[in-house]
Structure 1
Amino acid sequence: MKKWFTIALASTLLLALTACGSSNGGNNGNTGSSASPNGTEEASPALSPEPTDAPKPDKLRIAYHPNMGGSSAIITGMKKDFFNEQNIEIELVKFTSGPTEVAAMISGDIDLGYVGHGAHFLAVEGKVKIISLDVLSKAEELMVRADSGIAAVKDLKGKTIATQLGTSGEIVLDLALKKEGMTRDDVKLVNMDMAGAVSAFIADKVDAVIVWAPYSTEIKKEIGKDNITVLANSASFSEEFVFPSSWIVTPDYLDKNEDKVVRFLKGLHKAMDYRAEHLDEVVGYVAELNATPVESVQEEVESGVWMTGTEVRGLFADGTAKKWYEQQQELFLSSGKLEKGAPVESYVTFDLMGKVAE
């Protein structure tokens, strides 16, 4: 009897120990919960997802010009991260004339770029497409020395004039001569890059020069404003023509990269909106980019009509931009810059603006 009791007691103790082991340590195969100090179950922390790499930004090689018109929108977009918002990285490449820029674009060295009025004839010829307006220029000036004895455009007959052909300077010269019933045959026209034209005029090796900011500012600084006479400028013909500066791209690049171009324009237009409200700040950006005195850049502010992106989209939608580009083409045709015209719709991307506004 005593032996039976001992065996029963041992069995009971063994079962109790087994039960305790199941309740306190039976989670070995369960990773979904764990025992808390107070005996309740808590959910295990969820595993964090593997981090994913953000898409790399699209790098665009952008042509700019070292003046307020050709630098202000692009540098503002970079400084204020408007292009970063569109996942675009900008690489700037400096140019001082539209034709050389377009040549680089056609060869594939540049993706998009800014051009002044004079190079737009290349768009009419189908080499590039215009994707946006930027600024209306008032910067081009036909200058002579005040003591030269040249008081009016008609006095330029037989005189030597320096400018860079293929630019808006050439266009202003043609308009000024035409207004006086003259042609290029009545003057001695010398084709020089802007740096050469400025140097030649300062050294008194040419009688007149046609330049724009910042080159006009440099001349006035070297010779003195009071020693310069401006015979004509782009504003002299504003009742007949406007002088738009624009952003361009090759047809091939646009066909293959429309999404990049649209995102670039979104950032650019946001920068133009900001520029219009913060011109003094933007002057500082331009001065820093081009290593130009702030005072010189500030003087350039008066050389343009600084449109916003919102205004540009409206001008493209209501037909105003089309009218301006038609007038520009007529000017090229009448001056002999173009032999034949083309429908504006064939080289200005009016339909793209709707996507930019989305």
Structure 2
Amino acid sequence: MSFGLVLTLTSCGDEDSSAAASGDGKGTVAFGYTADYSGAAALAVAEKRGLWKGTGLEPKLSVFTNGPLQVQALGSGNLDFGYLGPGALWLPASGKASIVSVNMLGLADRVIARPGSGIREPADLKGHKVAVAEGTSGEMILNLALREAGLKPDDVTKVAMDASTVVTAFSSGQVDAAATWYPLIDTIEKRVPDLVEVSETKDYYPKLTFPNVFVGRPELAREDPGLVKKVVGVLKESGDWIAQHPEESEKITADFLDLPADRLEGATEHVRILPSEELAALSQDGTVDGWFDRLAEMFVGMGKLPEPGKSTDYYLSDLYTSAGEADRT
């Protein structure tokens, strides 16, 4: 997500939005999300529980298919805040967004192999076709698995395709292996019940984490830190409620996304939800900066960044830590 306090109506010269930008009155905040549990849960709970009340802000929510599109919308002034999965964290590292809050830690990514392929561990991937959606956390977990096995990217045949096509290609036997994530793997397992899990996200935790985050336009924190703190305060309160009520949050998010009540059942098994107090402590002691810095090094290896830079330039840890209940009034 990208950061910059140009409220949607502010860019149109609306007086109410200008009031929100200065910290008073009512303003509209344009907020992007993706239609899955991690991408929507915080906003779904905030809406259900009325957490925006008292902020003087009215959220205008828009659904996107991925994080990079939200960053484009941030850059064009059509969004104020958004959501990014770990595969898109090279965008904040490149200066196109500022991270205002860690949402959840992803544990959903896997490298999987078809039964009978002879692939049981990362070293066995050599010489095989692997389906992957480039620029996603799937590509990240694949690169980690190859590195663990001492293999180079060209030791396998990467077959690039979109995430939904990975499901089809793996299920039909067009490829021997795939790098993807839950809940897509749930769909694959119905078609290939004996698939092999070759590598998973938690194999690399805590040295490497796959956080998903909320972002805003970079200039926003400079121009109106008070507004950003109000938004972050809502996100923190929502996240704390989710941490205490994970199963109920699945149902609320399914309802928010207009999905059957059981569609997101078990979604919280594939994330680690950290209470805001713990995230604040990890932000203050540099742990969270370390997560982003190590991922940035990986993005350099993937060709997404020319150099890793420093997360202190794009993770607004002090703002996150200081935001709280008082910013809602």
* TM-score normalised per structure 2: 0.84
Q: Distance in 1 between matches of 2:172 and 2:62?
A: 30
3-state secondary structure, aligned to 1:61:
strand
Q: 2:198 aligns with which of 197, 214, 231?
A: 231
Q: Distance in 1 between matches of 2:37 and 2:151?
A: 32
Moved more, 328-337 or 79-88: 328-337
Moved more, 106-115 or 128-137: 106-115
Tell me the equivalent position of 1:47. Answer: none
Q: Distance in 1 between matches of 2:59 and 2:125?
A: 44
3-state secondary structure, aligned to 1:297:
coil
Unaligned runs of 5+ in 2: 1-23
Q: 1:247 aligns with which of 187, 193, 214?
A: 214
Tell me the equivalent position of 2:151. Answer: 182
Q: Is the 8 A contact 1:85 1:267 kept in 2?
A: no
Shift of 1:334: 4.3
Q: Which has the higher contact order (CA 8 A, sep 6+)?
A: 2
Tell me the equivalent position of 1:267. Answer: 234
Tell me the equivalent position of 2:30. Answer: 61
Q: Is the 8 A contact 1:269 1:309 kept in 2?
A: yes
Between the two proteins, the alignment pairs up a number of residues equal to: 302
The CA deviation string for residues 3-28 of structure 1, in whole angstroms up to 9 with x for no partner, is xxxxxxxxxxxxxxxxxxxxxxxxxx
Q: 2:103 aligns with which of 116, 123, 134?
A: 134
Q: Percent sequence identity over matched residues?
A: 29
3-state secondary structure, aligned to 2:51:
coil
RMSD between superposed Cα atoms in Å: 2.1
* TM-score normalised per structure 1: 0.78
Tell me the equivalent position of 1:315. Answer: 282
Q: 2:69 aligns with which of 65, 89, 100?
A: 100
3-state secondary structure, aligned to 1:84:
coil
Q: 1:349 aligns with which of 295, 312, 316?
A: 316
Q: Is the 8 A contact 1:83 1:89 kept in 2?
A: yes
Q: Distance in 2 between matches of 1:341 and 1:315?
A: 21
Shift of 1:121: 1.3
Alignment of 1:250-329 (within 5 A): 250-329=217-296
Query: Greater Rg, structure 1 or structure 2?
Result: 1
Residues 181 and 318 (structure 1 numbering): CA distance in 2 closer, same or farther, change over 3 Å?
closer
Tell me the equivalent position of 2:7. Answer: none
Q: Distance in 2 between matches of 1:294 and 1:217?
A: 17
3-state secondary structure, aligned to 2:142:
helix
Q: Distance in 1 between matches of 2:256 and 2:168?
A: 23
Q: Distance in 2 between matches of 1:141 and 1:293?
A: 26
Q: Distance in 1 between matches of 2:230 and 2:218?
A: 17
3-state secondary structure, aligned to 2:54:
helix
Unaligned runs of 5+ in 1: 1-54
Q: Is the 8 A contact 2:99 2:315 kept in 1?
A: yes
Q: Distance in 1 between matches of 2:256 and 2:212?
A: 20
